[in-house]
Amino acid sequence: IGRALPQKTLFSIVLPVYNTDPTLLSQTLLSVRNQAYSGWELCIVDDASDREETQHILQALQHDPVIAERLHYQRRETRGGIVAATNDAIKMATAPYIAFLDHDDRLHTEALLILGLKLQQHDYTLLYTDSRMIDHSGQLMHTYHKTDWAPETLLHLNHINHLSVVKRETLNQLGGGFRPEFDGAQDWDLLLELLRLGITEEQVCHVAEPLYDWRATEGSLAYKTDSKSWTFKAAMAALKNHLEARGLENVSIRANHKAAGCIAHWDSPLEPIDIIIPTHSNLNGLKTCLSGLLQQTDYPQFNIIIVANRCIEPIREYLETLQNQPHIKIQVNDNEFNWSTLNNQGVVAGENPLLLFLNDDVEITNAAWLRNLSRYIYLEGVGAVGATLFYPNRQLQHNGIETHPEWIARNIDEWGEKKPLRVTRNVSAITGACLLTQRSHWEQVGGFDEQLAVYYNDVDYCLGLRSQGLRIVQANDVELIHQEKATYGNHDSPEKQALSHKEINIMREKWGEFLTERYMPRYDVKAHRT
């Protein structure tokens, strides 16, 4: 297969080295030497190593029959750190693509071959692969299956790491390498800089194969994410710098103590919101929901539009008591229950630029929840934002929605192995029980599809946004209580089962392979010898 690729040098592998364990360095170099595709060069900078074994291995490369003719080598007189050494290596590179390799890691034999084949199909700016984490002896600790390109995930967690390959021309636009002020978080900072530059989804290739072995040695960043506090401080500084460069105000960053990465806050414009609440028979839930909105929520400007659908008498009487409330509108719909129709009716009755679709069985638990939710909707390219929902017993209920061409969609009700889902991130879809969007985006996709009366209408809306190039965000720092099913009731009657099958078929016909999941990271923890 490799013969189908141009034999010119396509990749410059940059490898900073400092006092590396000779066994591990030898394995790293062997993984380069054994690449199935020969269109590479190796740019090594020795960051003033004083370990003799390391120096001997590097000197021997001058005579290696495979590596010598592809080798660019430099030894620094004084130690400069990983950023300085990497930047020196990049300066020696001549190939159009830069591949970053750590001095104790390993490339899969077909890594460059597979990446080269991808580049034959499209002129990508950034390529990255899934990875495996191995210990000092080479034993597999876990395999990390990454998500596709996820800009809002990247604002909270570097979910890409290794292996990453960047077009050298683009790197030159960013100053030619890593920024030294973010030493320790240079990989994350580079990805954020690509975001700032305006990289699009079409310019990014995620290769969903583990083509890189990331070595976790005692004391390394791979071994324990908080083992080098200076690296975490560098990450927070890089993220703050990026958000401020985007014009966001009052940016603050703190550690995500429940998982990896950071939690970022900034001020948003707080534009007026129309909060649309369909209701039928859940009087206590509706009262609790409205109390949370009117007495707890500190958002400055919102109207509540209640769409009353075939309401029971106690709710009708309660709604009459709300008629004179200045920020509440009552809409009546006595047709058969259709969630999409009810919410569309609510939208038409309002005029505010932001829309929040909220079930009447949602309980507010934090005054700032709506401020926190709304700040994501102003990020360029975001089409909808959802909250993290819990059952009353605090068991996780909703953490985004996973989609599939066969079974359509399911609630994500887990944090995942190693908790990769306990972070604000991009998802395929979110629940309509709490969904914030811009009115202009609602109009752009034509509102909710009224063919979908009960099931998958929220998923369909999110897919519609994504088909327009917009993204969906699951806000992990916004938590609400959700009773679930109180708005519509149980779904196990024969009639509702038949309706479910009908709406599944509508979704399959409408979206097909677009339902393929792209945002569900997964760790496979299976330790065995490699």
pLDDT in tens, 298-330: 999 999 999 999 999 999 999 999 998 999 999
pLDDT band of 529, cuts 50, 70, 90: very low
CATH 3.90.550.10 is the classification of domain 2-228: yes
pLDDT band of 224, cuts 50, 70, 90: very low
Cis peptide before 163 (omega within 30 of 0): yes
| Identity of residue 450 | E
d(CA 344, CA 164): 44
| pTM, full prediction | 0.93
Average pLDDT over residues 156-174: 96
Q: Is the backbone of residue 138 left (phi > 0), alpha (psi -120 to 50) or beta? A: left
In tens, the pLDDT along 74-126 reads 999 999 999 999 999 999 999 999 999 999 999 999 999 999 999 999 999 99
Flag whether pLDDT at 528 surpasses 50.
Answer: no
10 Å Cβ neighbour count for 297?
A: 18
10 Å Cβ neighbour count for 99?
A: 27
Average pLDDT over residues 365-369: 97
pLDDT of residue 485: 63
What's CA 452's distance to the chain center, in Å? 28
Residue with the bigger pLDDT between 493 and 40: it is: 40
Average pLDDT over residues 192-210: 97
Residue 339 and residue 278 in contact, taking contact as beta carbons nearer than 8 Å: yes
10 Å Cβ neighbour count for 399?
A: 25
* Residue-range domain boundaries for the chain: 2-228, 268-515
CA-wise closest residue to 304 among 288, 285, 290, 315: 290
pLDDT of residue 487: 54
Helix (H) or strand (E) holding 262: strand 262-267
Average pLDDT over residues 404-433: 94
pLDDT band of 216, cuts 50, 70, 90: confident
pLDDT of residue 32: 97
Flag whether pLDDT at 220 surpasses 60.
Answer: no
d(CA 404, CA 315): 38
In tens, the pLDDT along 121-152 reads 999 999 999 999 999 888 999 999 999 999 99
Query: How many percent of the chain have pLDDT more than 70?
Result: 94
d(CA 228, CA 240): 19
pLDDT of residue 221: 52
Half-sphere exposure at residue 17, Cβ-oriented, CA atoms within 13 angstroms: 30
Query: How many percent of the chain have pLDDT more than 90?
Result: 86
In tens, the pLDDT along 494-522 reads 888 899 999 999 999 999 999 999 999 99
In whole angstroms, how far apart are CA 105 and each of 18, 26, 57, 500? 13, 10, 16, 49
pLDDT of residue 39: 96
Structure tokens given for 156:
């909270």
Average pLDDT over residues 361-380: 97
In tens, the pLDDT along 440-489 reads 999 999 999 999 999 999 999 999 999 999 999 999 999 999 987 655 55
- The reply to whether 2-228 and 268-515 are identical in fold is yes
Give 15-82 as a DSSP string: EEESS--HHHHHHHHHHHHT-S---EEEEEEE-----HHHHHHHHHGGG-TTTGGGEEEEE-SS---H
Structure tokens given for 228:
């080098």
What angle, 0 to 180 degrees and rounded to 10, lies between the N-to-C axes of helices 494-511 and 457-467? 10
In whole angstroms, how far apart are CA 349 and each of 276, 306, 407? 10, 10, 35
Flag whether pLDDT at 257 surpasses 90.
Answer: no
d(CA 111, CA 104): 16
> What are the percentages of helix, strand and coil residues in the chain, rounded to 5?
35, 25, 40
Residue 38 and residue 7 in contact, taking contact as beta carbons nearer than 8 Å: yes
Flag whether pLDDT at 411 surpasses 70.
Answer: yes
In CATH, which of 3.30.300.30, 3.40.50.720, 3.10.310.10, 3.90.550.10 is domain 268-515?
A: 3.90.550.10
